[in-house]
Each structure stands twice: as structure tokens, then as C-alpha cells.
Structure 1
Amino acid sequence: MRRRIALLVAATTTLVLVAFLIPLAVLVRTVAFDRAVNTATTEAQALTSVVSTADRSTLELSVQRANAEGRFPVTVFLADGRRLGARAERTPAVRLAARGRSLTVDTGDGVAVLVSVGDSSGGQAVIRSVVGDRELMRGVHRAWLLLAGLGLVLLVLSVLVADRMARSLVRPTRELSAVSHRLAGGELDARARVEAPGEMRDVATALNHLASRIRELLAEEREYVADLSHRLRTPLMSLRLDAESLRDGEESRRITEHVDALQRAVTRIIEQAGRRSSQTPVPDSCDAAAVVSERLEFWSVLAEDTEREMRSEIAPGPLRVAVGDSELSDCVDALLGNVFAHTEEGVGFEVRLFSAEGFARLVVTDDGPGFDGLESGSGPLSRGASGSGSSGLGLDIARRAAGESGGSVTLGAGENGGARVVVDFGVPAE
């Protein structure tokens, strides 16, 4: 932006200088020309009284003195054909002036001033004064250099002033950009200075207001999450008491474990909301092999109850990934939950975990009907997108978990036409 403003001002200043300096240079040339011609004419006219009244010897002395003291050579052509002063030919212009007409003619290397005057013999004499090109251009080149120097100085000053003004505009813009990046990085205390000029002050004020509003919304979110946890504790406690009061000990233990898992899930949600609201989130990692194996053991019970064939191939651990164990557990639960929710009972599935191309790759494939809308680009990977009446958040949980680790999620079809979800998790830096 600074460079563009400087170039714009330089171009505009150059046009203005050209529009003024070229006519001024021509005017200087014209003034010098007229000054030299007028001086030569004055010197020639100074001899008219001598030519009209003095005798030849006096006239000759006057012409010699004029040539000695003046800057321009003077020649007097008398009516009887004689010539006094500087050597010169009787040109057609001289003969024209001898008829009583004074004039100025171009000689090729200067200008000749011809003054017609009557001499003492009663004839018509001509006084000729020659102005050379050097005299016509006396002081012109120096004036042109001064004008060029002045124009260059004005151009440099204009660019410097424009650059200073552009800097005063660019600096607040860069500061606003830096503050916006700090806010995007979670530094919610970042604020822009409102001492910026003009509209930048309004933008800085609006950005600060936006930052304050974001902070307020996040605070409200934390309050809502905390309030939700308190609201859930009472029904969870009632559900636990009901489970413990069951006569079947095995059934009571199983339901109690489910209640505990639900309570841990609520706790993880609260912790995740707190981490998202913090200014400096701490990167987390876990052993993917251990977490996936633990979740498969949990889902194997339900798979057995629904007569589903569960096939698994887990790489030997530890297999570190740049995501927390709770986030990875939620990801695995979301993927397997989709299999149980969107396929009929008895439909098998396969889970594989292995290292591939610098990532830890989790592949979940089922033997169901597969995804709808993949070919048209309207698949269920977007948040809230679902073609089966669900919330559409399951795959988004996997996408966010993979994205936070630097990985990605890919949807496709398995070998038997079922749904295939490939989740790549980034590995932590050593």
C-alpha cells in the first residue's frame, strides 16, 4: 500500500511538473531571445544619429568604438556602397532594408538586426547588428538546469511526504491485522490502539468491541456448560441409585458403568469448553493403540448383543498421536456409533489402526449400504449434514479431532460397498 501511494503521488507530481516546467522552460528561452535581440537593436539604434549627421571619419570612429564596447558586431552600409565596421556581405535583406524598412532576419547561426536610417548625403544607410546563437542562449541552459533540479527536488519531497503519510495509514492497518491474528489465536485480551487517524480509529474501536463481545460470549458459554453439568448431576444420580437398586447384580453393574461413562463424557465436554476458552491451549497427545483398543472392548459387548461381526487390526503400541485421549475416544465412539445407528442389526464392521505416511491412520468400514451424496459433493462430512434424520455431528467430531492434530478425514466406499471412513491423525513433534 505504501509503495502504491508513493507511485501514485510520484506520477501525479511528475505530470504537474511537466505541465508547468515545460512552458516555463520555453518562456525562459523566449525571454533570453527577446533580451538579446532588444539589446542588439538598442546598440544599432544608438548609431542612427551619428550616421545621419556626422561626417565619414567621425562615423567610422563611432562604429569602431561600438564594435569595441558592444557585444554584437555592427556593420554600417552607406548609400554610396561603402561599408564601415565588421565585415559583412550586402545580402538581399540589407538591400531590402536600404529601401527604408527595418527588419530582423535569421542568418542560420544567429539573428541579424537591420535598422534603416538616412545618412548625411541624403541616401538611405543600413545599420546591421548580428546576434549569435550563443548570445541568444546566454543563461538559458543554466536556467533549465535550475528548473530541472527544482523539479527533481519537488518530486523527491512529494514522494517522501507521501511515504510518510502512507506509513501513518499502513502502521494502524498492520497493527489491526496483528491484533486480529492474536484474537484468532485465542489471545482474547488483545486490543487495538484507538489513536489511529480517521476511519482507522473506527475500525479499531469496532475490532475492540468485537473482541469484548467474543469474550462475553465465551464466558456465557462456560456458564451454560457449567449450568448444564449441574442440571445433569441430579438425573444422573437418580439413574445411578435406580441401577444400584436392581436385584440382578450383573445388570446393576453394567448400567452403573454406563452411567459412569455418561458422567465422564459430560466432564470431558466441560473440560473441552474450558480449553477452548483459554488463551493458550496446551497441545495434548495419547497412545492411539491403547485408546482404540479400550473403546473396541467397550463396543464389542454391544456388537455381540446385536449379532454384528467385529473385525479389528490394531498396530502394536505405543502409537502416539497429537490429540488427547478423551478427544480420540469421542472420535472412535462417534464413528462406531454411526455404524450401530445407521446400519441394521447383524451388519458387520471392521476397525484398523496403523501408521501411514507420517500419520496414524484409523479406518472404519462397515458392510452396510454406504454413504449417500458422495458423488454430488453433498456428503455428510459437513457439520449438521445428515441424510438419515440424525444430528449430523458424529463425523464432524472426527473431522475436528483430526484437524486439531493436523490430519484429515476422507469418506469413501468399502470393498463390499459399505461406508468407509479414513481418519488421519498427526503425530506429535519430537
Structure 2
Amino acid sequence: MRRWLALVMAATTSLVLVALLVPMALLIGTVAENAAVDRATDTAESVAAAVGTLSAGDLTLTVEQVAASGGYPLTVFLPGGETIGQAAPRSDAVRLAALGRSVTARVPGGVEVLVSVQSPTLGTVVVRAFVSDADLGRGVREAWAGLLILGLALTGLGIAVADRLARTVTASITALAGVSHRLAGGDLTARAVPEGPPEVRSVASALNHLAGRIDDLLAAERESVADLSHRLRTPLTGLRLTAEALSDPAEAAQIGARVDELERAVTSIIDTARQRSPVGRSCDAASVVADRVRFWSVLAEDQDRTMDLDLPGEELPVAVSAGELAACVDALLGNVFAHTPEGTPFGVRLTPGAGGGAVLAVTDAGPGFDAGLLDRGSSGGGSTGLGLDIARRTAESSGGSLDVRASGEGGARVEVAFGPPARS
């Protein structure tokens, strides 16, 4: 915007100055030319006044003196064809002046001023003063140069003033853009300072109102999710009591462990929902994936599924919280158990990422994915259809990505890349 306003000011100032200075420059040239002709006319008339009173010798001396003092070449044309002073051709204008008419005529190289005078002894005498083009334009170039410098100075001053005004406007707009970027990045505490022109202050106030409204809506949503999650504790408590009442201790312990796992997941949902921003987002992917694989291995054994497990023996820090990563792994393995027949083998492989972080690949030998089921909320097995979307959002929140393709066994291969945690 600063450049645009500067260009507009430069164009406007240039047009105004051209409209003002060009006529002024032409006027200066005309005034200079008229002044030179007037001075030459005065010089010629001073000689013409002495024609009737002086002899030819005295007239010659007078012409030389006046030409030297006036600065213009003088020529006196006598009726007999003789001339006094500087030699000059007898032009048509001279012949016209010899008829008794004083004229000013343009000739090659300048202007000749002709004054006709009647002498009692000599007859009609024509006095000629010649003004060269250099004399006609004397001082004009310097005046034009001054006007040009003045125009450039005024244009520069206009651009400087426009840039100062534009800086005031653009600074406020840039600050608004910075606040909007902070809000888009999740910093809901960002607020704009109303400053600058009234329109910009109005936009800043509207942006602050919008940010406050978004903050209120998100707070209400977090509390709603937390309340809904908390309501699950009642049926979980009933399920735990039912499990404890079972006569088979082993079965009661197994169901109790599942209830404990579900309760921890509900607690994690409540804690996550109450967080205003994702703080402390990092964990060891190797330990989290190993823990979730142990949980699902019991169900895999019950369904006669063979599992190909490949986990590293070292820590793999990723920019995802342990709860989010556990939910991601559960979503991917839950898809395998929900969308493939019992007995279908699957694999879990965790490897270091090329630029840090980790890459989790879950494969199976099932029927594969229908392309239409990759959209959020789409499912072919009666589920919510959010499993892959949970994995995708978790990966993208860490700077990674999700890729779905066919596995080597003809089933599906879901590869999730997690970015490394930020360095402090």
C-alpha cells in the first residue's frame, strides 16, 4: 500500500506541476523574447532620433557608440543604397520599412528590428537592430532549470508526505494482520490495539470482538465435551461393580482391567477438553506404541490374529502428547479389528523419521479401504468413521502427514508421520 500511495501522489503531483510549470516556462520564454526586442527597439530609436540632426560622419560615430553600449548590432540603411554600421543584407522587411513603416521581422538566426525615420537632408532612413536567437533566449534555460528543480523537489516532498501517511495506515493494518495470524495459530489471547484511521480502528475493535466471541464459544464447547465425558463415569462405575460380582476371578480381573483402561481414556478426554492450548506436547513414541500394542494384543490373541511387530529399542520423541498418540494408535488398530475378518494378520512398524520424529505404519491383509470411506464421518462397518481423521489431525498437528495405500498383502497400509518436538 505504501508504494501504491507513493505512486498515486507522484502521478498527481506530476500532473499538477506539468499543468502549472509548462505554461510558466512558455511565458518565461515569451517575456524574455519581448524584453530583448524592446531593448533593441529602444536602441534603434535612439539612433533614429539622431539621424535628422547629424552629418553622415557624426552618424557613423553615433551608431558605433550606441551599438557598443546597447549590445546589439546596428545598421543604418540610407536612401541611396549606402549603409552605416554593421553590414547587413537589404531584406524584404528593410525595403518595406524604407516606405516609411517600422516593422519587426523574423530572419534566419534571430529578429531584426527596423525603425523608419524621415531625415530632411537624407530622406527616408531605416535603422536596423539585430537580436540573435541567443539574445532572445538569454536566461530562459536557467529559468527552466530552476522550474525543473522546483518541480522535482515538490514531487519528492509530496512522495515523502504520502509515504509518511501511508506508513501510519499500513502500520495499523500490519498489526491487525499479525493479530489475525496469532488467532489463526491458536493464541486466543491476542488482541489488536485500536489505532490509526477511524476505519482501521473500527476493524480492530471488530477483530477483538470476534476473538472474544471465539474464545467464549470454544470455552463452552470444552465444557460441554468435558461434561459429556464425565457422564460416562456413571455407567463405567456400574460396569465395574458388575465385573467385581462375577464368579470367575480371572474373567472379573480381565473385565476390570478393560474398565480401568476405558476410565483412563475418559479422564484423558476430560483433561484434553479443558486445555486451552496444547501445552507440553511431546512424548516417547516407542513407549506409547508399545503400551497400546500390548493392550490390543490380548484381543488379537482371542481372534487368532498374528501380529508382525517392529518397534525400535530407542526413544523416538515426537511433537504429540502421549494421550493424543495413544488415541491415534487405538484408532488405527481399532480400524483393523473393526473392518477385517477375525484371523486376519496385521503389522505395526515404528521407525525414525527422516528429519526427526517417527513414522508409524499399520498394515493388514484384509479387503482394503474403499476410497469413499476415507472422508471424515464415513464408515462401512457401523462405526463413527472418525478413526482415520483422528490419525490425520494428530499427525498434522505435529507437522506430519497421513498416507493411505494398499499393503503388500492386498489389504490397507496406513502410514502416519509425526514431527519432532520443538527445540527449547
Mark yes or no: TM-score above 0.5. Answer: yes
Kindly state the Cα deviation for residue 159 of structure 1 after the two structures are TM-superposed. 0.7
| Counterpart in the other structure of 1:323 | 320
Query: 1:290–1:317: 8 Å Cα contact kept in structure 2?
Result: no
**Correspondences of 1:29-428 after superposition (within 5 Å):** 29-52=29-52, 56=56, 59-60=59-60, 62-121=62-121, 123-275=123-275, 277-278=276-277, 281-286=279-284, 288-358=285-355, 359-373=357-371, 380=374, 382-428=375-421
- Give structure 1 stretches of 5+ with no counterpart: none
**Whole-Å separation in 2 of the counterparts to 1:25 and 1:174:** 44
**Superposition RMSD in Å:** 2.4
One-letter amino acid of the structure 1 residue matched with residue 190 of structure 2? A
**Whole-Å separation in 1 of the counterparts to 2:14 and 2:379:** 63
Query: 1:53–1:120: 8 Å Cα contact kept in structure 2?
Result: no
The more displaced of 187-196 and 81-90 is 81-90
Number of residues paired by the alignment? 422
One-letter amino acid of the structure 2 residue matched with residue 7 of structure 1? L
Kindly state the Cα deviation for residue 249 of structure 1 after the two structures are TM-superposed. 1.9
Identity value in percent:
54
Distance of aligned partners of 1:82 and 1:398 in 2 relative to their CA distance in 1, 3 Å threshold: same
Which digits, 9 at most, give the CA deviation of each residue in 1:2-61, with x for residues without a partner? 123223322332343334323322221122112211222233234444435665566556
One-letter amino acid of the structure 1 residue matched with residue 318 of structure 2? V
Query: 1:402–1:409: 8 Å Cα contact kept in structure 2?
Result: yes
Which digits, 9 at most, give the CA deviation of each residue in 1:76-132, with x for residues without a partner? 212133333444343444233223343323343321111223221473221101112
**Whole-Å separation in 1 of the counterparts to 2:381 and 2:126:** 116
- Give structure 2 stretches of 5+ with no counterpart: none
Query: 1:54–1:120: 8 Å Cα contact kept in structure 2?
Result: no
Kindly state the Cα deviation for residue 429 of structure 1 after the two structures are TM-superposed. 5.6
Query: 1:193–1:204: 8 Å Cα contact kept in structure 2?
Result: yes
SS of the counterpart of 1:150? Answer: helix
The more displaced of 210-219 and 2-11 is 2-11
**Whole-Å separation in 2 of the counterparts to 1:88 and 1:24:** 35
What's the TM-score, normalizing by structure 1? 0.90
One-letter amino acid of the structure 2 residue matched with residue 202 of structure 1? S
Query: 2:229–2:269: 8 Å Cα contact kept in structure 1?
Result: no
SS of the counterpart of 1:406? Answer: coil
SS of the counterpart of 1:75? Answer: strand
SS of the counterpart of 1:390? Answer: coil
**Whole-Å separation in 2 of the counterparts to 1:25 and 1:390:** 86
| Counterpart in the other structure of 1:26 | 26
Distance of aligned partners of 1:244 and 1:206 in 2 relative to their CA distance in 1, 3 Å threshold: same
The more displaced of 351-360 and 331-340 is 351-360
Kindly state the Cα deviation for residue 163 of structure 1 after the two structures are TM-superposed. 0.4
Distance of aligned partners of 1:318 and 1:61 in 2 relative to their CA distance in 1, 3 Å threshold: closer
Which digits, 9 at most, give the CA deviation of each residue in 1:367-386, with x for residues without a partner? 1111112xxxx561x43344
Query: 1:414–1:420: 8 Å Cα contact kept in structure 2?
Result: yes
**Whole-Å separation in 1 of the counterparts to 2:60 and 2:292:** 130
**Whole-Å separation in 2 of the counterparts to 1:146 and 1:356:** 70
**Whole-Å separation in 1 of the counterparts to 2:64 and 2:359:** 112
**Whole-Å separation in 1 of the counterparts to 2:56 and 2:98:** 18
Query: 1:55–1:120: 8 Å Cα contact kept in structure 2?
Result: no
